[in-house]
Amino acid sequence: MLWSGWGDPAKAADLPEPIRKLLHEMLGVRPPRDRAADFGEVRLPAVALSPPVLTELRGVVGADHVRFDDDARIRHTRGKSTPDLLRMRAGDGSDAPDAVVLPGSHDEVLAVLATCAAHRVAVVPFGGGTSVVGGLVATRQGFTGVVALDLARLNRLVAVDGESMVAELEPGLRAPQAEQLLAGHGLTLGHFPQSFEYATLGGFAAARSSGQASAGYGRFDDMVVGMTVATPRGTLDLGRAPRSAAGPDLRQVILGSEGAFGVITSLRLRVRRAPAERVYEGWRFESFAAGSAALRHLAQEGAVPTVLRLSDETETMIGLARPGEIGALSADAGCLAVAGYEGFSEVPALRERVAAVASGLGGVYLGPDPGESWAHGRYSAPYLRDSLLAAGATVETLETAGFWSNLPRLYEAVRLSLRASLGSPLVMCHVSHVYGTGASLYFTVVVAQTDDPVGQWEAAKRSVNETIVGAGGTISHHHGVGRDHREAHAVEIGDLGVEILRGIKDRLDPEGILNPGVLVAPERPVS
Ligand SMILES: Cc1cc2nc3c(=O)[nH]c(=O)nc-3n(C[C@H](O)[C@H](O)[C@H](O)COP(=O)(O)OP(=O)(O)OC[C@H]3O[C@@H](n4cnc5c(N)ncnc54)[C@H](O)[C@@H]3O)c2cc1C
């Protein structure tokens, strides 16, 4: 993974010429004032952890598994939001952990937490490091140091219960590794977020992730039937049946807790048989409103493909849903919907049902090309972001969800807010997760960088966060809360909601060492 960008450097994407032209003509993009820092130029704070604490941590996980070299620290600094990348490009390593600790078992995680609680060291659970909401930056105030607790060594497929269709997997497995291990049993999780190549199972559970095929396979939190969690107070072992009426579901307390309540050390996940057939195809709708109505009907009539997404007019025109064709502008393209089917003998009948609803609501069938093109380029957009940043354009995404009846208002409110803060940005949107009652909205924003691109984006983000909550949407459908959404989340759940979360944190983590500042603000500054 690139330290200041996304993914495998060998897959870096050049900016297509039409995009360069568009950036210049439409948005006034010019090359950034400062060149990007080299790895050796990143400014890191001195290691704050005392030698006795480092020795104790080495005693727990082994000397090879406590690292405090520059390389390890830089690669565990923040996540992969655009401000995160801009800060790294500027050589700002001020949020680096003092050390990276790699435990090899649940018991080692418990022992690391005990050591850190005893010495008031903050602990940031670290999966794939792909958080885009500031979920990997701990508040230092009140702590003697910060360690990144990298779960990469917890990477086994522990067991498969083929009868119940449940697999036990460890949290440090990256999604492709997990899929590969399950494929050996003819199984799949079916969780394919855009961060698929690098994100881990623990991160998916901790941040309540949703994949591109969520219409068919469900969100990640739907897949979790059980889990083991290490907390500073001991172990939680949750989920002994698919559903239970035995009190509130404590699994839901841990799902979405973003490392602030405990460290997930094992997951029992619902799995599916690996599909025999995969078909992706495209539909054209006259407008975003017409396409949204069709998606709503499909969701409400239970005729839901595995993948179901709809781009608005701008996103369709730019070609973002078909990365191979970005920039091949066509003003009358309407709105592109992609429907993907992954399954078995039921696929033809489902395609027919979807076709009947879509064409009955004004959809025009475009054949397999747009669907195949989307499927082929589904993981490439993050690579393009690096090229855009280097060219002087800020590109960032944000997302929300709402009920169908409120979706048009939410859509317009977000676009207006972005225009009010950023002047004339390019704002594109798609629906990518649909439910009977509502859907998600996922926005991509491109704007010319000012000389302070981080400040420019953060101001816009603050204002759009307020707008989203004010317009009745949730502050996140699948990216989570982290630090970036904390204030808006507090408004969304109210004072009492925040108090409940603080109460849970205080009970599980009395010293407040777990990811301080993420999800819920400390009640009072720690002295
Ligand atoms: C280019 C890009 C595309 C993305 N696309 C999607 C998408 O399509 N869908 C989507 O849902 N998200 C997406 N994301 C966001 C991100 O990938 C998800 O939030 C993902 O769940 C994070 O997983 P991770 O393993 O990288 O976790 P990390 O980023 O390492 O951690 C995320 C949070 O969970 C905590 N955590 C991690 N592991 C554990 C654990 N074992 N126990 C307790 N806490 C833990 C961390 O402390 C942190 O607060 C995208 C991000 C990027 C950069």
What does the alpha-carbon distance between residue 93 and residue 40 come to, in Å, rounded to a whole number? 11
Nearest residue by C-alpha to atom 10 in ligand 1: 209
What does the alpha-carbon distance between residue 284 and residue 18 come to, in Å, rounded to a whole number? 23
Are the CB atoms for 154 and 171 separated by under 8 Å?
Answer: yes
pLDDT of residue 320 exceeding 80, the answer is: no
Q: Which amino acid is at 71?
A: D
Vertex 188 angle, CA 192 and 478, to 5°:
30
382 lines ligand 1 (CB under 6 A): yes
Atom of ligand 1 nearest to the CA of 518: 49
Identify the pLDDT of residue 341: 98
Provide the CB-side half-sphere exposure for 409 (13 A, CA). 13
How does the average pLDDT of the chain come out, rounded?
A: 95
Written as six digits, the tokens of 370 are 């747009």
Neighbours of 361 (CB within 10 A): 17
Identify the pLDDT of residue 333: 84
Are the CB atoms for 60 and 110 separated by under 8 Å?
Answer: no
Range list of β-strands (E), 314-463: 335-343, 364-367, 393-403, 426-431, 438-448
Identify the pLDDT of residue 349: 97
> Confidence band (pLDDT; 50, 70, 90) for 527?
very low
Distance from chain centroid for Cα 223 = 16
Mean pLDDT of 331-336: 85
What does the alpha-carbon distance between residue 323 and residue 64 come to, in Å, rounded to a whole number? 42
Mutational test site, ligand 1, from 3, 77, 105, 131, max ligand atoms within 8 Å of CB: 131
Mean pLDDT of 228-246: 97
Worst-scoring range by mean pLDDT, 265-274, 332-341, 495-504?
Answer: 332-341
Written as six digits, the tokens of 433 are 């997760």
126 lines ligand 1 (CB under 6 A): yes
Backbone angles phi, psi at 192, to 5 degrees: -130, 70
Q: Which amino acid is at 6?
A: W
Which residue, among 68, 65, 63, has the nearest Cα to 154 in the 3D structure? 65
Mean pLDDT of 250-269: 98
Identify the pLDDT of residue 257: 98
370 lines ligand 1 (CB under 6 A): no
Q: What share of the chain is helix, strand, coil (3-state, %, to 5)?
A: 40, 20, 40
Are the CB atoms for 264 and 227 separated by under 8 Å?
Answer: yes
Identify the pLDDT of residue 9: 87
What does the alpha-carbon distance between residue 229 and residue 238 come to, in Å, rounded to a whole number? 8
Identify the pLDDT of residue 17: 79
204 lines ligand 1 (CB under 6 A): yes
Identify the pLDDT of residue 21: 84
518 lines ligand 1 (CB under 6 A): yes
Indicate the burial class of 418 (C-beta count within 10 angstroms; 0-12, 13-18, 19 or more).
buried
Share of the chain above pLDDT 70, in %: 97
pLDDT of residue 206 exceeding 60, the answer is: yes
pLDDT of residue 525 exceeding 60, the answer is: no
Write the pLDDT tens digit of every residue in 289-314. Answer: 999 999 999 999 999 999 999 999 99
Identify the pLDDT of residue 64: 98
Identify the pLDDT of residue 162: 98
Which residue, among 464, 521, 465, 461, has the nearest Cα to 495 in the 3D structure? 521
| CA separation, residue 324 to residues 42, 111, 262, 292, 293 (Å) | 34, 49, 42, 25, 28
Are the CB atoms for 123 and 116 separated by under 8 Å?
Answer: yes
134 lines ligand 1 (CB under 6 A): no
Question: From ligand 1's centre to the CA of 237, what distance in Å?
Answer: 22
Neighbours of 155 (CB within 10 A): 18
Query: Quick one: DSSP state of residue 37?
Result: P
| CA separation, residue 516 to residues 118, 142, 245, 424, 425 (Å) | 16, 10, 33, 37, 34
> Confidence band (pLDDT; 50, 70, 90) for 22?
confident
pLDDT of residue 33 exceeding 80, the answer is: yes
Identify the pLDDT of residue 417: 98
Question: From ligand 1's centre to the CA of 195, what distance in Å?
Answer: 8
Write the pLDDT tens digit of every residue in 464-484. Answer: 999 999 999 999 999 999 999
* b (16+ CB within 10 A) / e for 169-206: bbbbbbbebbbebbeeeebbbbbbbbbbbbbbbbbbbb
Question: From ligand 1's centre to the CA of 130, what distance in Å?
Answer: 5
Write the pLDDT tens digit of every residue in 424-449. Answer: 999 999 999 999 999 999 999 999 99
Identify the pLDDT of residue 330: 65
